[in-house]
Amino acid sequence: PLWSAAGKEVTTIEGLAAGKHPLIEAFTAEQALQCGYCINGIVMSAAALLAANRDPSEAQIAQALERHLCRCGTHVRIVRAIRRAAQASP
């Protein structure tokens, strides 16, 4: 719930873009952005995954995204983008 974020630092997708997070470049390079319905949530979950695990396997990426539904069918590109961002992360 929203109240659980009280007093904590919150990063939004706009914050990731402003900070030039490698996920933004990777999703663009892999053309993983289609309609945009699911992407904000997927990118934020991917950012949390990469913050906790700098080199996630495809299985770990799939597990991290299991609650997200992408109706455009770009799952393969999304996983590729996250792997690409992981390799680009300092």
Contact status: 74 vs ligand FES (CB under 6 A):
yes
Centroid of chain to Cα 5? 20
C-beta atoms surrounding 78 within 10 Å: 27
Footprint (CB under 6 A) of ligand FES, residues 19-48:
34-35, 37-39
Shorter beta-carbon distance to ligand FES: residue 37 or 52: 37
- Minimum separation from the CB atom of position 73 to ligand FES (A): 8
List of E strands, the chain: none
Q: Least Å distance between CB 8 and ligand FES?
A: 28
Task: Return the structure tokens found at 88.
Answer: 């680009």
If the CB atoms of residues 35 and 51 are measured against ligand FES, the closer one turns out to be 35
Question: Directed axis angle between helix 39-52 and helix 22-29, to 10°?
Answer: 130
Element (H, E) at 24: helix 22-29
Binding site for ligand FES (CB under 6 A): 34-35, 37-39, 70-72, 74
